[in-house]
Amino acid sequence: FDQELPIECDDEYWNPEDDGAQAFKQPEDKPSTITFFNCYLRLNNLLGFSLKMLYSLAKTKELLAVRNDKWEEHLVAELDSALNAWVDDLPNHLQWEPNRMEDPNSIFFAQSVHLYCSYYHVQMTIHRPFIPMIRKGASTALPSLAICTNAARSCSHVAEIARQRKKGGVLPHLIVRVVSLPVSLVEDMPRFPRSRLGSSCS
Q: Which of 72, 70, 78, 4 is nearest to 46 (CA)?
A: 78
Q: How confident is the model at residue 135 (pLDDT cuts 50, 70, 90)?
A: low
**174 touches 155 (CB < 8 A):** no
What pLDDT is attached to residue 37? Answer: 96
**41 touches 48 (CB < 8 A):** no
Which of the pair, 114 or 13, is modelled with greater confidence?
114
What pLDDT is attached to residue 198? Answer: 47
Average of per-residue pLDDT across 101-118: 85
What is this structure's pTM? Answer: 0.81
Give the least confident one: 81-90, 91-100, 109-118, 159-168: 159-168
Q: What are phi and psi of 26, to 5 degrees?
A: -75, 130
Position 168 pLDDT exceeds 80: no
Domain residue ranges of the chain, discontinuous segments joined by +: 33-201
